[in-house]
Amino acid sequence: MYTPFKVGDTRIETERLLLRGWEDTRQDAEDLYAYAQLEIVGRPAGWKYHASVEESRKILRMFVEEDDCFAVVSKETGKVIGSLGLHEPKAMDADDPRRGLEVGYVLNPDYWGKGMMTEAVRAVIDWVFHNTDAEVLFCGHFTFNDRSRRVIEKCGFTYLKNCVCVSEQLGETFDEKMYILTKNA
Ligand X SMILES: CC(C)(COP(=O)(O)OP(=O)(O)OC[C@H]1O[C@@H](n2cnc3c(N)ncnc32)[C@H](O)[C@@H]1OP(=O)(O)O)[C@@H](O)C(=O)NCCC(=O)NCCS
Task: Provide the binding-site residues for ligand X, judged by CB under 6 A.
Answer: 41, 44-45, 105-107, 112-118, 141, 145-148, 150-151
Q: How far is the CB of 117 from ligand X (least distance, A)?
A: 3
Q: How far is the CB of 119 from ligand X (least distance, A)?
A: 7
Please tell me the number of Cα atoms within 13 Å of 170 on its side-chain side: 16
Nearest to residue 159, comparing CAs of 174, 173, 143, 135? Answer: 143
Enumerate residues 6+ apart whose C-beta is below 8 A from 23. 64, 71
CB of 95 or CB of 168, closer to ligand X: 168
Q: Residue 102 is inside which H or E element, if any?
A: strand 100-107
CB of 128 or CB of 151, closer to ligand X: 151
CB of 69 or CB of 95, closer to ligand X: 69
CB of 129 or CB of 157, closer to ligand X: 157
Enumerate residues 6+ apart whose C-beta is below 8 A from 96. 1, 136
Q: How far is the CB of 171 from ligand X (least distance, A)?
A: 18
CB of 57 or CB of 141, closer to ligand X: 141
Q: How far is the CB of 27 from ligand X (least distance, A)?
A: 20
Q: How far is the CB of 111 from ligand X (least distance, A)?
A: 6
CB atoms within 10 A of CB 108: 21
Nearest to residue 101, comparing CAs of 72, 132, 62, 123? Answer: 132
Nearest to residue 60, comparing CAs of 74, 48, 51, 71? Answer: 71
